[in-house]
Amino acid sequence: IWEVDKEKANEIRLSHWGKKVYARRKQTIERSFADAKQHHGHRYARFRGRAQVQMQCLLAATAQNIKKIAIKLFLLRFFRLFFNLFNKIQIKNPIYGLNKKINPELYRGLSSI
């Protein structure tokens, strides 16, 4: 019944694009599951019953999301500090021979988070 669909899926998977997507999947999605298994108790269910196991999985996903947010906030603050220091440096424009500061409007999106 599903033979045509399986052949189409295999054709996509074995294409050049499919191989690139699969390589990226190993680095992102599979890494997330490995992290949950290793650090957030997904090896074994601590409770019995669907509701309790679902609660455990949601708490682990919440912990992973909080870690991602913390890393992004740290990087944002680091880059904001870097750009502020960089903006104070006078740069000589090789085309016009003028001393100009870097336009702070270019980095306005960094302060929105």
Write the secondary structure of 6-28 as one string of H (helix), E (strand) and C (coil).
HHHHHHHHHCHHHHHHHHHHHHH
The number of C-alpha atoms within 13 Å of 108 and in the hemisphere containing its C-beta is 4
Q: Which two tokens stand for residue 93?
A: 């424009």
pLDDT cut 90: percent of the chain above it: 24
Q: Specify the amino acid at residue 10.
A: N
Q: Which two tokens stand for residue 11?
A: 């054709």
What pLDDT, in 10s, does the model give residues 52-72?
Answer: 999 998 998 899 899 989 998
Q: Which two tokens stand for residue 14?
A: 């074995």
Mean pLDDT across 11-27: 87
Domain ranges for the chain, please list them: 1-44, 45-112
DSSP 92: E
What pLDDT, in 10s, does the model give residues 83-113?
Answer: 776 666 555 545 544 455 555 555 555 554 4
Q: CA 56, CA 20: separation in Å to the nearest integer?
A: 33
Q: Which two tokens stand for residue 44?
A: 């074994």
Mean pLDDT across 14-18: 91
pLDDT of residue 91: 53
